[in-house]
């Protein structure tokens, strides 16, 4: 990064990363319980992968490197009357743990709020500094 990162850059990028995390979690929860007629076609939870970005010691932010599918396997259920059942009467339910996704959503939401608080504090301190000069 050619320019020095400010507290606003760092928190803004962190908030952006947490927003990706919240969006993938919302997608996972929306697809929890979805059914497919094949194991390969069953939805897998999405997980963002972050990486640290920064060129100066002690000053870094985060960036979403990629979004990957979870390795949690789909669950096979025997439901011969389901319209998507295969020839053996099985359907495959999405590999999503709703409880873990809710915990993930709460954690991402709190981290987003923490960065909002950092921005509010930095803004307040800058305004107070400017008032001192009057």
Mean pLDDT on 42-65? 89
Strand partners of residue 64: 50
Confidence at residue 3, expressed as pLDDT on a 0 to 100 scale = 62
| pTM (whole model) above 0.85 | no
Mean pLDDT on 63-87? 92
Contact yes or no for 22/108 (Cβ under 8 A): yes
Q: What single-letter DSSP state applies at residue 79?
A: -
pLDDT digits (tens, 9 = 90+) for 92-132: 999 999 999 999 999 999 999 999 999 999 999 999 888 88
Q: What percent of the chain has pLDDT over 90?
A: 72
Confidence at residue 1, expressed as pLDDT on a 0 to 100 scale = 40
Confidence at residue 80, expressed as pLDDT on a 0 to 100 scale = 92
Q: How many CB atoms lie within 10 A of CB 28?
A: 24
């Amino acid at each position: 990064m050619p320019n020095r990162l400010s507290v606003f850059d760092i928190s803004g990028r962190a908030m952006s990363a947490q927003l990706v995390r919240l969006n993938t979690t919302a997608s996972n929860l929306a697809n929890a319980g979805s059914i497919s007629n094949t194991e390969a076609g069953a939805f897998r939870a999405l997980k963002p992968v972050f990486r640290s970005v920064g060129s100066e010691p002690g000053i870094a932010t985060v960036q979403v490197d990629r979004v990957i599918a979870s390795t949690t396997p789909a669950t096979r259920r025997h439901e011969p009357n389901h319209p998507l059942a295969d020839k053996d009467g099985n359907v495959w339910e999405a590999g999503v743990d709703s409880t873990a996704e809710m915990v993930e959503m709460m954690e991402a939401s709190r981290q987003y709020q923490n960065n909002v608080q950092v921005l509010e504090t930095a803004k307040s301190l800058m305004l107070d500094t400017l008032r001192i000069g009057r």
